[in-house]
Amino acid sequence: MSNVQQLNPREISHGDGRNPITAYDGDVIESVRVNRSAAERRVATLPGRRTVKKEWQAAWLVRAIQCIDLTTLSGDDTPGRVRRLCAKARQPVRQETLEAMGIGDLGLTTGAVCVYHSMVETAVDALKGSNIPVAAVSTGFPAGLSPLDLRIKEIEASVAAGAMEIDIVIDVEAVLED
């Protein structure tokens, strides 16, 4: 039996109002049904549809920027690289471009910055005062093969270091087991 199947959400709780850890339930995925012919008909109409009208294009692009998480997950990440990424998150579009669009005072930023656990403190420090959250991949990224107790400790350490979001990697083999 895998670690995922052994989790009991009632036993693993933060006790501080955050989301509880929930065991994977493959039945939820298996119960999803799609009307394939209806979906295919809808997809076939997409190329003929009009795009966003010109007066709304800038608004949609601004919203897209606000939803982006800038990420650096290189094995050779440095504090300097992370600080540069955070600077880009604070100012994703040149100020003169924003002013030309009439939104120079909008305070446009990206949605978050995502880093390895070891760079959380650097990113938190670089983003201080910006309200841009730091996300961390703290669960044995990219394969999720570290033992469950180590993954939980790494998550706790990332949160303690200031991460506001944890991107969790699950062990694919555990999901695919029958």
d(CA 69, CA 83): 15
pLDDT tens figures, 20-31 = 667 778 888 889
d(CA 6, CA 23): 8
- State which CATH number among 3.30.70.3420, 3.20.20.70, 3.40.50.2000, 3.40.190.10 fits the domain covering 53-176: 3.20.20.70
Domain coordinates in residue numbering, the chain: 53-176
Token pair belonging to 175? 């999901």
Question: Which one-letter amino acid corresponds to residue 97?
Answer: T
d(CA 5, CA 166): 21
Record the pTM: 0.70
Q: Where are the beta strands (DSSP E) in 29-121?
A: 69-71, 112-116
Query: What single-letter DSSP state applies at residue 95?
Result: H
pLDDT tens figures, 83-125 = 999 999 999 999 999 998 888 899 999 999 999 999 999 999 9
